[in-house]
Structure formats: structure tokens, C-alpha cells
Amino acid sequence: MHRKISSPAFNEKNNVLVFAEAVRQTRGMLRKWTGEKGAGNITLKEVPLDTMRLTLHIISDIGFGVKLLWPGEKSNEKVEGTYSSEIPPKGHSMSFENALNTLLETMMWPLIVPDWLLSKFERTQWLRVC
């Protein structure tokens, strides 16, 4: 049953899109690491965070149609304050990237912790699904 539900998403057309976005995002990550001029002999301290961010950026574009940018990249979009911006849109307290990252980091707790125990923690009240 799981294969029947998930198999339509894994087709050649989607694989091409994922690969193209993975290449684009990996280039952005490498530019962040090396700078525009390709600095050498540097120590990378954020590799796990950056690879997680790489995955988040790919999921964001392919799954939600929102292209997220690496530090130093500029948007091709003419409208500022869009979901791809690091600055939250008006009326929101988080950017799209920050909200998606928080969701992915904390989504396991509501799935594995009983509702009665989860309700004991004030910080996680907003995680409960009604």
C-alpha cells in the first residue's frame, strides 16, 4: 500500500527536477564555503548544518515551489518580502525557511510522544495537531 501511494512521486520527470535543483543548491553551498573567488585552505565548521540546509532547500523548491537562497545569493524575483526571503513576510514571525526547518527538527516529538505527555510542556503546545 505504501508503494502504491508513494510511487507516483518517484518518476523520471520528478527525478530530473530534483537533480537539477540539487546541482543548483550544491553550487550555492560551495560558493558559501569558498566565497566568490574560491578561497582555499579554510576550515569548514558547519558541514552538518549546511548539508541539512541543502536538503531543506531542495525539498522547499521541489515540494513547495519556494526557492531558498544561500547567504550572499540574490533573488531573481522582483518582489521583496517573498517566502524565499530570510526576512519574515508582514504578519509572520518566521521566514519560510526558518518555519520549515523548525517543523522538520521537531515533527518527530508529536508522533512518538503521547498527547497527554506532550501537553505537559508549554514549549510544544503549538506542535500538537488538532
Mind listing the pLDDT tens digit for each residue in 82-108? 666 777 778 888 888 888 888 877 778
- b/e 1-34 (16+ beta carbons within 10 angstroms → b): eeeeeeeeeeeeeeeeebeebbeebeebbeebee
Q: Could you give the maximum distance between any two Cα atoms of the chain, in Å? A: 54
pLDDT band at residue 16 under the 50/70/90 scheme: very high
* pLDDT average, residue stretch 33-53: 78
Residue 66 has pLDDT above 50, yes or no: yes
pTM over the 0.85 mark: no
Q: What is the chain's alpha carbon radius of gyration, rounded to the nearest angstrom?
A: 18
Contact 74, 57 (CB under 8 A): no
